[in-house]
Amino acid sequence: LSHLPPGACFLQKLLVGLDQCLLLENQAQELVLLLPNHDVYRPEVARDPFTSDLVFDRASMGWQEVVGTPFYLYPVHPSKTFLLPGSLSATLYLALLRIMKFDHAAAFTLIEACSVDTKFTAEESWMFTQFNRTLTSDSPDNHPDA
pLDDT per residue as tens digits for the range 100-124: 888 889 999 999 989 899 999 999 9
3, 42 Cβ separation under 8 angstroms:
no
Distance CA(66)–CA(131), nearest Å, equals 16
Q: Please report whether residue 98 resides in a domain.
A: yes
SS3 of residue 98 by DSSP? helix
Least confident of 18-32, 69-83, 128-142: 128-142
E strands within the chain?
22-25, 31-36, 39-41, 55-57, 71-75
Residue 117 DSSP label:
S
- For residue 3, the model assigns a pLDDT of 59
Q: Are 8 and 33 in contact (CB under 8 A)?
A: no
4 falls within a domain: no
Tell whether the model's pLDDT for residue 30 goes beyond 70: yes
Q: Which residue has the higher pLDDT, 133 or 71?
A: 71
Within a domain: residue 77? yes
- Using the predicted structure, report yes or no on whether residue 20 has a pLDDT greater than 80: yes
User: Is residue 30 assigned to a domain?
Assistant: yes
Domain count across the chain:
1
Q: What is this structure's pTM? A: 0.82
With respect to residue 90, please indicate whether it lies within any of the assigned structural domains.
yes
